Structure 1
């Protein structure tokens, strides 16, 4: 089977922009100023790893009508010209004294004179990717401009994926599934945990991933206690429970799921924990239908987990959205009443605590269809596998 097309045709970005502008009209916005990589890429197609450098800010302005306008460092002009964006305004950066502020001021001054509202992202899971001092100078230099929180507009658009986005997500989830299937071939008693990480990354790249920017896990006797620390040089030993959790990427889209194994043999408490999480995931899959809330989906999984873990998996949430970022809106949590819609892509991530401080986490990636959830990942085996 051939890979999906890289990038998107112009009509994908035109559709995204038109939908944003319809929501902006309802909110009375003259435009939205976007400063972070996923949002700039979502509306422009500008895809580069250069964002990993914090030196230069990048801006995209989505007006009430017409195409977005890019205000970017000159070093990115050639790449931006390869996108559908026509209006590209650049400066020689880095320039700490004026890193695009004059260009932004020129663009926004007519809106300030009219007392217009311009949206920026202010909400949860957003950030200001420019110096705070520059932002304050920009706003101070635009008296009359009203700054509005546009998080809800962007969130409503990005949570629901297009068919082309889902195709890319299905592709990277298939790559991740094939990679996990190969783990028993190289995960052996005596292999250092950090070398298992290296082997996994090599295998993911061999299977077709562009990168593996996120790989975490745990390994310890009878169960792991932590899943976010760097891997240790400790060798795998019989009786270990091992988990790997990957966020591999293809064409800028992530998978995010994990797999658990026992080394040599599996103890009964770990087998029971695994069974509970597998069944909690089944409950999540069954509950993930259009019209259900994220809170409902959270409770469907939590009810199963509570049979073993009295705290019901106390990690704040049991899953999240997935797409251009490893974690996106919404959260599968008691606090999130977002209504699940068709074509949302979600990570189901039930977890629990058991024994003497041990934990276990299970993850699958799904897309919500009209008739219910469709797995993007190859479902984990029903019983804890032994390697």
Structure 2
């Protein structure tokens, strides 16, 4: 045991991190994220930022585990206004965090329903310097607090004079700007799925079900190097489809059908999110024209997807193409969104969202239209916003819908 301690004392931090956590980035990446969050916290007058949800815990700490699938134990990460983070976690996870760059790791013997880390968390928060008496939490848009509501109320009462407020802007303002390393993972996931989509016409045929075609696609994606395929939706119908979010079904593809498959695959947790449409046999001319219209709408949005453009302007540019093309309605609600460690992130390309594009953002451009009752065509590409212009991360779909012969 003494020799082990001497070895760990001697071991460089980078090698120690390899023992504790298999990080997708060097520790400097996480230190930079925390520093940027602390800058935001000063603007919002926060003494601390309390992170509980899996994506944000992973973003700031580097910790990744399928153990998140168990809801029994909450996990907490405290980002103070200054200095290193404090992890307050169940004992089962403490060995992965202790000794890492984070700073301090506190733990309790969980599960312990009577006090699932609330006392320990309270003591850690009250031990921080108090300047504003405000602690931020994930209360805002597209945010989730991962702890029982009863425990949240206990925490609020225990903190007494310290107010719990919405700290989500501090998180999203940081997460919106991707590092080159983050973009590289998104690009890799896009490439893997693009390759798999390119192979689909070689094995997909009329007479197969959506589920059979999607299963073969999933195999190609995993064999291509993706770490996981958390999201895959599919829909089909004669000349189009009426929804785009269901799992692949047992519906059998027929002559004249259009099949859409929307994929969110990950590399080190970072998503691609795009779809492709395939026609089978003799596809109605109206569907083919609608496909060309949404391709043109994508092109119109990409031309202005540069720093300084509002996402509401992206929406308008797409609608200016879709409406003259015969769009009956947009039943999706938006025409694209942010992308990264989650399948969908802010902003939403829609009226009223005036988020300004900035260098480093990664977004989807996703025009869709119902061109006839119950018949939609939707298209999606992934784009990196740079000062030199938009860089498409997906392999651009052809303007003409690929049609698989009978």
Report the TM range for the smaller structure's normalisation.
over 0.9
Change in Cα spacing, 1:6 to 1:65, as seen in structure 2 (3 Å) is closer
Matches within 5 A, 1:139-150: 139-150=156-167
Distance of 1:220 and 1:83 partners within structure 2: 52
Q: Does 1:255 align with 2:286?
A: no
Distance of 1:215 and 1:115 partners within structure 2: 45
Q: Which residue, 181, 188, 192 being the options, matches 1:171?
A: 188
Change in Cα spacing, 1:83 to 1:211, as seen in structure 2 (3 Å) is farther
- CA drift of 1:121 comes to 1.8
Q: Does 1:209 align with 2:226?
A: yes
Query: Which has the higher mean CA deviation after the structures are superposed, 218-227 or 270-279?
Result: 218-227
Distance of 1:310 and 1:364 partners within structure 2: 20
Query: Which has the higher mean CA deviation after the structures are superposed, 139-148 or 279-288?
Result: 139-148
- CA drift of 1:114 comes to 6.7
2:80 maps to what in 1?
Answer: 63
> Given the two structures, how large is their TM-score scaled by the length of structure 1?
0.95
Distance of 2:247 and 2:30 partners within structure 1: 38
- CA drift of 1:80 comes to 2.3
Q: What is the aligned length?
A: 383
Q: Does 1:196 align with 2:208?
A: no
Distance of 2:229 and 2:106 partners within structure 1: 33
Partner of 2:221, secondary structure, is helix
Instruction: Give the unaligned 5+ runs of structure 2.
Output: 1-21
> Given the two structures, how large is their TM-score scaled by the length of structure 2?
0.91
Distance of 2:29 and 2:237 partners within structure 1: 46
Q: Is the 8 A contact 2:327 2:371 kept in 1?
A: no
Q: Which residue, 38, 41, 49 being the options, matches 2:55?
A: 38
Matches within 5 A, 1:1-387: 7-81=24-98, 83-110=100-127, 116-311=133-328, 313-387=330-404
Q: Is the 8 A contact 1:80 1:88 kept in 2?
A: yes
Partner of 1:353, secondary structure, is strand
Change in Cα spacing, 1:172 to 1:113, as seen in structure 2 (3 Å) is closer
Runs ≥4 residues deviating over 4 A: 111-115, 309-312
Root mean square deviation, CA, Å = 1.6
Partner of 2:92, secondary structure, is helix
- CA drift of 1:226 comes to 1.7
- CA drift of 1:261 comes to 0.7
Partner of 2:189, secondary structure, is helix
Q: Is the 8 A contact 2:156 2:163 kept in 1?
A: no
Distance of 2:134 and 2:90 partners within structure 1: 26
Distance of 2:401 and 2:87 partners within structure 1: 50
- CA drift of 1:315 comes to 2.1
Distance of 1:169 and 1:380 partners within structure 2: 18
Q: Is the 8 A contact 1:321 1:346 kept in 2?
A: yes
Change in Cα spacing, 1:113 to 1:377, as seen in structure 2 (3 Å) is closer
Change in Cα spacing, 1:111 to 1:86, as seen in structure 2 (3 Å) is closer
